[in-house]
């Protein structure tokens, strides 16, 4: 059987009344037990044994009244308050909501077979029975107020009983706790109130001999409580007996700054009982000093002082020195660096007595040139450039190193519309779009809105030729005249309107009927006036080293020319970062300085190219060179 009294709490209520310290409140003592101190067994409540088919299992506790202190041996109980704190309830699913009762019994043996009358239920409201609780919380009941009046020798039983028989879903087999169907964590405390005031410590005392542990005292005594000698009212102490038979040396201060290691001899039993007065060893040092006027021989200082030992002025602790008072009455000029890269010959003017005392700050002469430049945005005044920039001296932005200029806008970025005549009588509102910067550049050729005609679709040369009459802007019919209609043929018929077989045997190398041009031995078509017909095949390609694509009709494009045809041709042009900006395998190419034949025109710069070529019956040649794009 578990010990019923493993958790006992004695609480003394020491409420002082205003009428004086002699009066105290009624004495209160408490005793507590918890789940771990319970005896798990059958409900001891006689009602359960008389009325239930199966008696529930519960947590059984017995409380023995606490021992009373000295002076309260004849006290009687005036009230007992039972307090139950239910901390947690753990049920199986079928036993959720089982009511829990806190049955109170008097003088009932703590065993699994005891049966005793129930006196009260702490967990039912008021002084009633049979309600119980289903939730955690703090519950309290004044047993004396509900007719339960135990005396100082009464054993009070408090049993925590889960009533499993109330729920049909919860097995009522008398072993719900043992089988783990339900478990409860709780604390039960009984507060006993007695009809006497609590004892006042040291209200009655006695004197006992003792030893205060001090060899310097005699006749040691202490005052203790008469009922409890462990309560000390006046601590142990004796009478001090001080003399110089037993002495001690302690540190002191003899008041003389020129002595060290000051000591005095006192009684070992009383340090205030002096046997040999305080005294020390004379010593002059720099621990105690004074300042005296002097002359440090420096014309730049004033108020010169030296620090000496207060005990011996011949001992110098800090040599003579004065306070430097620099002024700009006496100055020197020193080289310096004003951290300005745009100045030279930097100088600073300082006081002679203190070079850190600046009279005129460090500065130099500005030296602006074009060795160190920055780029600034500007406006070159030209409508047809963008990103205008000017290169100026970093030291003087008024010094222009490279005048303001911009990047030529892409061809046809800025345009304007002009009326025109597209030569077609069957259109109206003719307009051409030209570059606003270069009016000679046509961005969109002249064109108008068509005047839609009827469809002319009879072209079989049988019943006449149906054609579009530009003057009438309608279909018309003319008689069929059979003949060669190709003006470049040898038998061209200007009257013919229905084509027949043409003869081209009379064409020269230019394709001109009955022409006088002929090919030389290099396969080049030349006029009769060319006197060096047989030397042209010896000439290599001609490649210019610059061009100016400004639409002035002179050197506007970059190309490769030769007097004889190429059998193989390839050119690749790159910018200064190695990016390809143009390629072609057409020997008749013309590069206008635009990137990859697009609408973006490159800025002026030096561009590299790789040119590979071969003539008929020759090996492949490769040229690496540069060309300057100038705008």
CB 582 within 8 A of CB 575: no
Three-state DSSP class for residue 320:
strand
Distance between CA atoms of residues 631 and 204, nearest Å: 123
Query: Which parts of the chain have pLDDT scores under 50?
Result: 1-24
Distance between CA atoms of residues 560 and 520, nearest Å: 21
Three-state DSSP class for residue 353:
coil
User: Where in the chain are the domains?
Assistant: 8-197, 205-240, 247-282, 289-324, 331-366, 373-408, 415-450, 539-629
Q: What is the pLDDT of residues 195-230, one digit of tens each?
A: 888 777 787 788 889 987 887 888 889 998 877 788
Distance between CA atoms of residues 540 and 522, nearest Å: 12
Residue (of 62, 40, 86) closest to 185 by Cα position:
86
| 297 CB-near residues (< 8 Å, 6+ apart) | none
| 271 CB-near residues (< 8 Å, 6+ apart) | 248, 250
Distance between CA atoms of residues 243 and 261, nearest Å: 25
Q: What is the CATH number of domain 539-629?
A: 2.60.40
Tokens 């047989």, residue located: 534
- Please give the full DSSP string across 243-271, using - where no structure is assigned: -SSSEEEEE---S-TTEEEEEEEEETTEE
Q: Where are the beta strands (DSSP E) in 420-530?
A: 427-435, 442-450, 465-469, 474-478, 482-483, 498-499, 518-519, 525-526
Tokens linked to 74:
């004849």
Q: Where are the beta strands (DSSP E) in 451-505?
A: 465-469, 474-478, 482-483, 498-499
pLDDT at 21 (0 to 100): 39
pLDDT at 557 (0 to 100): 93
Considering Cα of 497, then 501, then 503, then 504, what sign does the dihedral take? positive
Other C-beta atoms lying within 10 Å of the C-beta of residue 143: 22
pLDDT at 60 (0 to 100): 96
Distance between CA atoms of residues 487 and 295, nearest Å: 124
Q: Provide the whole-model pTM.
A: 0.37
Distance between CA atoms of residues 58 and 376, nearest Å: 97
Residue (of 459, 565, 464) closest to 520 by Cα position:
565
């Amino acid at each position: 059987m578990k010990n019923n009294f493993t958790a006992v709490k004695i609480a003394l209520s020491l409420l002082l009344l205003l009428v004086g310290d002699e009066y105290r409140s009624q004495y209160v003592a408490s005793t507590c037990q918890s789940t771990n101190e319970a005896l798990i067994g059958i409900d001891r409540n006689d009602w359960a044994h008389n009325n239930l088919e199966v008696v529930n299992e519960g947590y059984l506790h017995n409380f023995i009244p606490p021992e009373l202190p000295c002076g309260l041996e004849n006290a009687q109980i005036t009230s007992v308050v039972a307090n139950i704190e239910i901390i947690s309830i753990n049920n199986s699913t079928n036993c959720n909501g089982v009511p829990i009762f806190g049955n109170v019994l008097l003088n009932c043996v703590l065993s699994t077979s005891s049966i005793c009358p129930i006196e009260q239920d702490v967990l039912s409201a008021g002084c009633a029975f049979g309600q119980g609780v289903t939730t955690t919380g703090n519950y309290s009941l004044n047993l004396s107020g509900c007719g339960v009046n135990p005396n100082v020798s009464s054993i009070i039983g408090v049993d925590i009983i889960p009533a499993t028989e109330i729920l049909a879903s919860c097995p009522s087999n008398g072993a719900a706790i043992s089988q783990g169907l339900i478990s409860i964590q709780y604390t039960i405390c009984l507060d006993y109130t007695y009809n006497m005031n609590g004892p006042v410590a040291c209200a009655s005392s006695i004197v006992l001999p003792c030893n205060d542990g001090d060899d310097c005292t005699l006749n040691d005594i202490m005052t203790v409580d008469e009922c409890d000698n462990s309560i000390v009212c006046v601590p142990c102490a004796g009478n001090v007996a001080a003399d110089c038979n037993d002495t001690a040396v302690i540190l002191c201060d003899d008041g003389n700054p020129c002595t060290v290691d000051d000591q005095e001899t006192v009684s070992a039993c009383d340090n205030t009982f002096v046997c040999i007065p305080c005294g020390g060893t004379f010593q002059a040092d720099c621990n105690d000093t004074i300042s005296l006027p002097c002359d440090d021989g420096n014309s730049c200082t004033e108020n010169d002082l030296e620090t000496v030992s207060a005990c011996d002025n011949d001992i110098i602790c800090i040599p003579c020195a004065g306070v430097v008072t620099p002024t700009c009455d006496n100055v020197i000029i020193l080289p310096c660096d004003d951290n300005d890269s745009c100045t030279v010959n930097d100088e600073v003017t300082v006081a002679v007595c203190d070079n850190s005392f600046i009279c005129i700050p460090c500065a130099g002469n500005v030296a602006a040139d074009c060795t160190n430049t920055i780029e600034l945005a500007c406006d070159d005044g030209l409508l047809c450039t963008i990103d205008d920039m000017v290169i100026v001296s970093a030291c003087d932005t008024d010094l222009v190193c490279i005048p303001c200029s911009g990047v030529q806008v892409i061809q046809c970025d800025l345009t304007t519309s002009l009326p025109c005549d597209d030569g077609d009588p069957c259109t109206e509102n003719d307009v051409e779009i030209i570059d606003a910067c270069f009016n000679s550049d046509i961005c969109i050729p002249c064109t108008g809105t068509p005047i839609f005609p009827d469809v002319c679709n009879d072209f079989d040369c049988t019943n006449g030729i149906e054609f579009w009459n530009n003057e009438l802007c309608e279909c018309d019919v003319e008689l069929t005249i059979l003949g060669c209609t190709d003006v470049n043929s040898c038998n061209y018929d200007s009257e013919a309107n229905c084509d027949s077989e043409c003869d081209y045997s009379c064409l020269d190398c230019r394709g001109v009927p009955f022409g006088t041009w002929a090919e030389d031995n290099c396969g080049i078509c030349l006029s009769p006036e060319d006197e060096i017909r047989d030397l042209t095949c010896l000439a290599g390609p001609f490649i210019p080293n610059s061009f100016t694509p400004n639409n002035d009709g002179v050197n506007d494009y970059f190309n490769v020319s030769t007097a004889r045809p190429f059998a193989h041709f390839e050119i690749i042009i790159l910018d200064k970062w190695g990016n390809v900006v143009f390629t072609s395998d057409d020997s008749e190419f013309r590069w206008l300085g635009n990137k990859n034949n697009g609408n973006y025109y490159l800025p002026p710069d030096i561009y590299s190219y790789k040119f590979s070529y071969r003539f008929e019956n020759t090996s492949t040649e490769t040229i690496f060179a540069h060309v300057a794009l100038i705008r």
